[in-house]
Structure formats: structure tokens, C-alpha cells
Amino acid sequence: MTFDTIKHLRGRLPADDNCVKCQDLTPIITIDGPTGSGKSTVSRLLAKRLRYHYLDTGAMYRAVGLAIRRAGIELQNEEEVAKICNGLNIRFIHEGDSTKIYMGNEDITEAIRKPLIDLMASNVSALDTVRKAMTRLQRKIGSQGSLVAEGRDMGTVVFPEAEHKFYLDASLEERVDRRFQERKKKGESISRKKVKEDLIKRDYQDMNRRLSPLKPAKDAEIIDTTKLNPHQVVERIIKYIGINLKYNGQQTTDY
């Protein structure tokens, strides 16, 4: 995989587990946290603010999940899952404030945000074959330049030697509200109760999987975003890492 520092992030999975060593990584900020904590919005804003690259690792697992589902492969079939991973061609295209993800030449930005794929992503991320492949790929991306890496194991597993690590969280009810509003805006007909059930299930899967469970890195700064909007969280992060910048964009309270 190669990294175009202007607009494109594209490529295939490297074959060697040791293709990039953690000590070779250039400046990286990791942001981990559960669904609805605000990590995706905050990571995009922070990357834009610092002029860093933004890596949405959750989208990568969703893309793998989508590919496996379309191929009709059982998750227990590790050999076939490995073939999917090694043949996957993922591209992130950044256009202004939006980011689109392509699998081959297909725009799968909306397809990977379906509730079914949300849970599929959690299932595939628990597979050793997938996790190792994604970790290799993410480290290779990290070697290319300053990066804000967002996910669930960025600070604990993928970039354990990152200089700045953050873990975002919020109350369960706040996270449910954010997720519910997000899905309503997409025109989905869903109850808040179902959103809460899905979120609790995803939390359990992520926090209790054997490989790379969701948890704060021991040296991560934990930020409760319950009563903060995304820009306030970004300001707190910037203050913590000692960078004095002035934001010139439009304020928003949407996650």
C-alpha cells in the first residue's frame, strides 16, 4: 500500500508481518474508544487542524466484513478469509471535509455503514487472520507520515509507541442518543431501544474479544465527551499535546 499525501490512500496488504516496525513510525496520535464516543468526528477535525493524515481503521474492518459477506464465506474458513484480506484493494479519497472509501472501483462509503455490517465488522475484527493483516497494513500506513489513527486498538496494539494516545468515552445514554440521531438522519426507521441493544452488543463484543480487546492504553489520556462537542474535545487534545493553534472553521455540536 502506498500513501499519497494529498488526497489518496490506496493499496493492498503487505505480506510480511515485520514490514514496518513500531520504532520506525513517524509522529502518530492515536484515538480509541467505543461506538458513539465521538472518536471519528474528533479524529477528522484534529487531523484537519494539524494537517495530519487521518486513518479510519473502523472503515477498514467494515470493508473486510462487507467483502466476506458478499463472497458468502463462513468466518470459520480462515483460509478463504485470508485470501479475501490479501486480495482486498482499499482506497480512501479525501475531498474537503468528507472521506469516501472505495473497494476496487466501487464506492462503499454508505454500504459499510449499514447496521448489519457494523456487527459484521466486530465479528471479523476478532479473527486472528484479519487482525494481523489489518495491523500490518495500518503500520505500513503509519510509516508514511504524521497520522491521526482512530480505532479500538490503536494505542494498545497497532501503535503502542505512539507519543500521544487518547481514549474517548461517554455515558451509555449519550452514546445511544448520538447513534440514534445519526441513523435517523440517514432516514432509517429504527427505535431508540433497538439502537441501544445494538450498541450494548457491540460494546460487549469489542471489550471481550480474545485478540486486541477495546480498552484504554495504560498511558492514554482518557476524555469523557458526554458534555463536550467535537471542537471542545479537539481543543482539549491540542492543549494536552502542547500545540497552540487557532481554529478558524465553523462550530458544530454534531458527532
Q: Mind listing the pLDDT tens digit for each residue in 210-236?
A: 888 999 999 999 999 999 999 999 999
pLDDT for res 86? 87
pLDDT for res 208? 93
pLDDT for res 56? 92
**Residue-range domains of the chain with CATH:** 2-233 (3.40.50.300)
pLDDT for res 242? 83
pTM of the model: 0.80
- Strand locations in 96-209 (E): 98-103, 106-107, 147-151, 164-169
Kindly give the parts of the chain with pLDDT less than 50.
1-25, 244, 246-253
Q: Which amino acid belongs to residue 159?
A: F
pLDDT for res 243? 62
Contact between residue 108 and residue 66 where contact means Cβ atoms under 8 Å apart: yes
- Cell numbers linked to 50: 494539524
pLDDT for res 187? 87
Contact between residue 167 and residue 33 where contact means Cβ atoms under 8 Å apart: yes
pLDDT tens track for 70-101: 999 999 998 999 999 888 888 888 777 678 89
Contact between residue 152 and residue 214 where contact means Cβ atoms under 8 Å apart: yes
